[in-house]
Amino acid sequence: MSTLQPRPSQLDRDGFIQAFGGVYEHSPWIAAGAFDAGLGPDADQASRLAQKMAAVVDMAEPAKKLALLQAHPELAGKLAIAGGLTSESKREQAGAGLDQCSPEEFDQFQLLNQRYRARFDFPFIIAVGGLDRVAILSAFAQRVENSRQIEFETALKQVHRIALLRLRRMVKAD
């Protein structure tokens, strides 16, 4: 069996928020909500903690969900160039090769980032694990055409996927 390290069920509130507050980008309120809802030994498993944290987001007011989406950085965006990404985002974007964009790819990302943000009021969000620049740009070009409601729901699903992937990286085999 594989468990999260540190074990959520063995932490006090402050320790839990410190350890897991960054699972959702710049949104420690989600970890606080999960802790306040109660964490048993089942929360020591990445998938179970991911479900508990996702439930906090899913029950949040639309404005709070929007703020969560807005807390995410743009892909291959200005924050990445300036070195202002969280360590998690930097690792994820580099893993997809976004730190090695050609000038043409970089220009595509910049144009799509501008168009997407103007249309939806939040950045394009995709769990980049297992994807390369070509696949990400393709999904980006398709999703910018979605309705706001569909894209809002899609972005939230992607945020949950990112959180699960981040939690899985915190697992240690027993």
In this structure, which amino acid lies at residue 74? E
Q: Give the DSSP H or E segment for 172.
A: strand 171-173
Set 52, 65, 72, 143: catalytic member: 72
**Is 26 among the catalytic positions?**
no
Nearest to 75 by CA among 127, 16, 2, 4: 127
CB atoms within 10 A of CB 145: 9
Q: Using DSSP, state whether 58 is helix, strand or coil.
A: helix
Across the strands, what pairs with 3? 172
Query: Which residue bears the tokens 């928020």?
Result: 17
Would you name the residues annotated as active-site residues? 72
